[in-house]
Structure 1
Amino acid sequence: MVRRALGQAVLFDVALLLAPVPVGLLAIELGLDPAWVWPWVCLPPLLRHPWLLIRLVLLIRRQHRLAPPFPLGLWGEVYRGLARYQQRGRKSRKRQIRFSRRFREAANAVPDALVILDKQHRIEWANPAATKLMNVRWPEDDRRPLTDILTQPEILPFIEAGEYMRPLDIAPEHNRAIMLSLRITPFGERKKQRLVVGRDITKIYHLNMIRRDFVANASHELRTPLTVIAGFLETLLDATGTPDHHRRPLTLMRNQTDRMCSIIEDLLTLSRLEMRERPEEQESVDIPDEIHLILQEAQTLSNGRHSVESQVDEDLLLLGSAPELRSAFSNLVFNAVKHTPDGTHIRVVWRRSADEAEFSVIDDGPGIPPEHLPRLTERFYRVDRARSRESGGTGLGLAIVKHVLNRHDGRLRMASELGRGSRFVCGFPAKRALIRDERDEILGDEIQTPLSRTSAEG
């Protein structure tokens, strides 16, 4: 059909170009001067093309809609083709307008605050919920920096850091009664724009505060009576006059008391970790020294039932809190000892890679079923409850590890295969890794340099 229409248009233009020939010959036969006949006969077909071209240019410049009737010939096909493109463009614009309207209606109905920032962190758009939650009014605040409205000092570093895996919780200055959880997602061309999502977590925040306070207070209140009970049980077991048939129940009571004390200590540790997002004091932690102490305790705990080896970078240190890191690493190592059968080979690795420092605990034990891996860091979650109680586990060790790593910008990676063992890796960003300068250590003055710079020099 298209070829037929195009062929007809070509034939029309050819006939139009050849039409002056018989007309001119006829005029000459009638005795007219050829010098006057041929220009007047050939001029109309030749002027038709520039006239139709100028008309088309004027219609396009004035953004007129091309509508029938169209010229005959090839110019008609040009007009008709442009008209089809115009129609497609109108339909596409209508779809875009409908989509934009639906997007705005949906965004306006979202109860969370939505704010779009440009690459200079200025406000481009915001939904109505942003007015209530973030004090951002649009379009009044159009092109205004977000940091002029949310003036908390941690906002600008959070936006510029580009590490948006964890949200930022703030109490906005315009309404201190609410708690906001801010999340940022890069989008747009080259990921230069930012979508800021503010969610009201006031109820969840208060519930977490109540839970933390309850756990901390209950643990403190329980620790004193348990200490007294444990002391009397120890005295009774050590007394020479205690009958033999009383020693077994007293031993069981002491073991359960020790287990309760361990649970309370772990709960208190978790409460302390949850009170603040970052460690109060950060220093250069001698991780190799801490690992050697942990391995000595693990050997004592194992009592020769496990084979423990280590691969430690003696010059690799870490910026953070020594007690917290010691607690996290010891939990992973002691878990490998407690929850694997006798004869298991345990390997502890502390090394640096291209972009992070890694602490790994690898064993060749029975492994963990894959369905349990996502829940291992939950409080009191146990793969084998009976075995965990026999080994003295509290079910809080990996929860402590997770909180410590979050406070040190780290990540916990877990992998396991049934019958082939498990692997737990603590990854820390390169900015926290430090290198011990051995030459200055000889002089008694340890100088640390960032891992990233040392790796580049190497």
Structure 2
Amino acid sequence: MRQKKQLRRYNKNLGHFLAEGVLRAILISCIIAVIMVATIAMIVIPSLEDLTPFVICALALFVCCLTVCLTGAILFVRTKKITTPITRVNDAITKIASGDFAVRIQNDKKVDDRYQYENELDELTHNLNKMVTELQGMDYMRKDFMSNVSHEVKTPVAAITGFAEILLDGNLSEEDQKEYLTLVYQESIRLSNLCESMLQMSRLDHQEIISAKDSVRIDEQLRKCMILLSEKWQEKNIEFVPELEEVTLVTDKNLMMQVWINLIDNAMKYSEANTKIHITLTKLETEIYIVICDEGIGIPKDKMDKIYNRFYQCEESHKKQGAGLGLAIVKRILDLLHGTIHYDSEQGKGTKVTVVLK
């Protein structure tokens, strides 16, 4: 079967537009000049016998001058179709440079279905609007990020300050002192983990290429994570049900381990006591599938699209058990490793997370 012809990019590119404009201007000017001169000659010169060489030269010179003037006027009108959108783009860029990301360039041109753009300036306008939209989103995320960082850091610092003031006041029993010191220690650990997560997120944001390439046994990493996290959440008595094929992948082992720790830790955090977590690992042709299913509280549907946002936590009751950066880190790592992640969840029944690696 013949492939469909690709959509032409432009209706008419600027080179053709200018060349056509010049030729059209010259042609129209010549026709108008000849008609005007012929009309004037018929009125002023009654017979051909009066056409002396001097008159012919004067008429020719008049035709040339008239053609040049008309051509200039037509080109001036024609080039405004180019200079006007360039001026609009320049004004928009000036506003963007001053920090105004709400500016947009309106494009009222109706382009034929056979073409993507009217010309290069039309594409430039489209791409500029797209760039400003992205910048506006990034600016919002930056402000939101700073607000969240301030809030997250302020909470443990305020708690540590408050507990320290109580300890400095004295008049506490040894048991009370130990309790407040334990709370100070827990809040300091929380603050330390928060700073570490933010630093890792910052490093990942500025990283585009994964240089470390290790031969990693994914099944062994998953088993190691189960053992490590079983100790952390031993009071919940959660049972793991692993179904793991022996799979080796060339990737960054540290980043890969971070993914499994975050995902399994989340599954345990939001699971009830004495439940099961099913973890399966399979390889189909060139793709590796890791599925983690828990029997936890699930995620409400209206919150599913926010789970990868930084500092976002679905359950406020678990806020002291993390900073809400785990899934943002996981998503960024998988993007760098050319993997994907997908969540399916039903509130009150549990959550299923699927990771695909290539």
Q: TM-score range by the shorter chain?
A: 0.5 to 0.7
Local SS of the residue matching 1:200: helix
Q: Measure how far apart 1:280 and its partner are.
A: 2.9
Distance (whole Å) between structure 2 residues aligned to residue 411 and residue 297 of structure 1:
25
Match of 2:282 in 1: 351
Distance (whole Å) between structure 2 residues aligned to residue 341 and residue 399 of structure 1:
24
Larger Rg: 1
Q: Measure how far apart 1:353 and its partner are.
A: 2.7
Percent of aligned pairs with the same residue? 22
Q: Do the aligned partners of residues 363 and 302 (structure 1) sit closer, same or farther apart at CA in structure 2, a change above 3 Å counting?
A: same
Contact (CA 8 Å) 1:413, 1:426: kept in 2 or not? yes
Deviation sequence 1:54-96 (CA, Å, 0-9, x none): xxxxxxxxxxxxxxxxxxxxxxxxxxxxxxxxxxxxxxxxxxx
Distance (whole Å) between structure 1 residues aligned to residue 254 and residue 14 of structure 2:
46
Match of 2:338 in 1: 409
Q: Do the aligned partners of residues 311 and 276 (structure 1) sit closer, same or farther apart at CA in structure 2, a change above 3 Å counting?
A: same
Q: Do the aligned partners of residues 251 and 200 (structure 1) sit closer, same or farther apart at CA in structure 2, a change above 3 Å counting?
A: same
Match of 1:291 in 2: 222
Deviation sequence 1:329-374 (CA, Å, 0-9, x none): 1100011111212112111222113562111211122322222211
Instruction: Indicate whether 1:389 and 2:273 are aligned.
Output: no
Map 1:187-198 onto structure 2 (within 5 A): 198=127
Q: Measure how far apart 1:127 and its partner are.
A: 7.8
Q: Do the aligned partners of residues 351 and 139 (structure 1) sit closer, same or farther apart at CA in structure 2, a change above 3 Å counting?
A: farther
Residue range with higher mean Cα deviation, 302-311 or 204-213 = 204-213
Q: 1:380 aligns with which of 292, 297, 311?
A: 311
Contact (CA 8 Å) 1:345, 1:365: kept in 2 or not? no
Deviation sequence 1:129-174 (CA, Å, 0-9, x none): xxxxxxx85648xxxxxxxxxxxxxxxxxxxxxxxxxxxxxxxxxx
Distance (whole Å) between structure 1 residues aligned to residue 276 and residue 339 of structure 2:
26
Local SS of the residue matching 1:378: coil
Q: Measure how far apart 1:384 and its partner are.
A: 1.3
Distance (whole Å) between structure 1 residues aligned to residue 315 and residue 252 of structure 2:
32
Local SS of the residue matching 1:279: coil
Distance (whole Å) between structure 2 residues aligned to residue 354 and residue 394 of structure 1:
37
Contact (CA 8 Å) 1:125, 1:139: kept in 2 or not? no
Instruction: Indicate whether 1:306 and 2:190 are aligned.
Output: no
Q: Measure how far apart 1:211 and its partner are.
A: 7.5
Q: Which runs of 5+ in 2 are unaligned?
A: 18-95, 98-112, 115-122
Contact (CA 8 Å) 1:301, 1:337: kept in 2 or not? no
Contact (CA 8 Å) 2:298, 2:351: kept in 1 or not? yes
Paired residue type of 1:259: R
Q: Do the aligned partners of residues 419 and 204 (structure 1) sit closer, same or farther apart at CA in structure 2, a change above 3 Å counting?
A: closer
Q: 2:259 aligns with which of 305, 313, 328?
A: 328
Distance (whole Å) between structure 2 residues aligned to residue 318 and residue 210 of structure 1:
35
Q: Measure how far apart 1:293 and its partner are.
A: 1.5
Paired residue type of 2:9: W
Match of 1:125 in 2: 9
Q: Measure how far apart 1:312 and its partner are.
A: 1.4
Distance (whole Å) between structure 2 residues aligned to residue 282 and residue 137 of structure 1:
47
Map 1:8-47 onto structure 2 (within 5 A): none
Deviation sequence 1:174-208 (CA, Å, 0-9, x none): xxx99xxxxxxxx99xxxxxxx9743358459859
Distance (whole Å) between structure 2 residues aligned to residue 309 and residue 335 of structure 1:
16
Deviation sequence 1:271-305 (CA, Å, 0-9, x none): 11110233233333222222121111111112162
Aligned-residue RMSD, C-alpha: 4.0
Local SS of the residue matching 2:314: coil
Using the size of structure 2 for normalisation, the TM-score is: 0.55
Deviation sequence 1:91-113 (CA, Å, 0-9, x none): xxxxxxxxxxxxxxxxxxxxxxx
Match of 2:352 in 1: 423
Distance (whole Å) between structure 2 residues aligned to residue 275 and residue 400 of structure 1:
13
Using the size of structure 1 for normalisation, the TM-score is: 0.44
Distance (whole Å) between structure 2 residues aligned to residue 325 and residue 212 of structure 1:
28
Paired residue type of 2:186: N
Instruction: Indicate whether 1:247 and 2:178 are aligned.
Output: yes
Contact (CA 8 Å) 1:126, 1:138: kept in 2 or not? no
Q: Measure how far apart 1:318 and its partner are.
A: 2.1
Distance (whole Å) between structure 1 residues aligned to residue 218 and residue 349 of structure 2:
28
Local SS of the residue matching 2:309: coil
Local SS of the residue matching 2:310: coil
Q: Do the aligned partners of residues 417 and 210 (structure 1) sit closer, same or farther apart at CA in structure 2, a change above 3 Å counting?
A: closer
Q: Which runs of 5+ in 1 are unaligned?
A: 1-117, 129-135, 141-176, 179-186, 189-195, 433-458
Distance (whole Å) between structure 2 residues aligned to residue 279 and residue 138 of structure 1:
43
Local SS of the residue matching 2:293: strand
Q: Do the aligned partners of residues 203 and 372 (structure 1) sit closer, same or farther apart at CA in structure 2, a change above 3 Å counting?
A: closer
Local SS of the residue matching 1:343: coil
Contact (CA 8 Å) 1:331, 1:397: kept in 2 or not? yes
Match of 2:55 in 1: none
Q: Measure how far apart 1:212 and its partner are.
A: 12
Distance (whole Å) between structure 2 residues aligned to residue 333 and residue 250 of structure 1:
30
Contact (CA 8 Å) 2:145, 2:310: kept in 1 or not? no
Distance (whole Å) between structure 1 residues aligned to residue 284 and residue 192 of structure 2:
39
Q: Which has the higher helix share?
A: 2
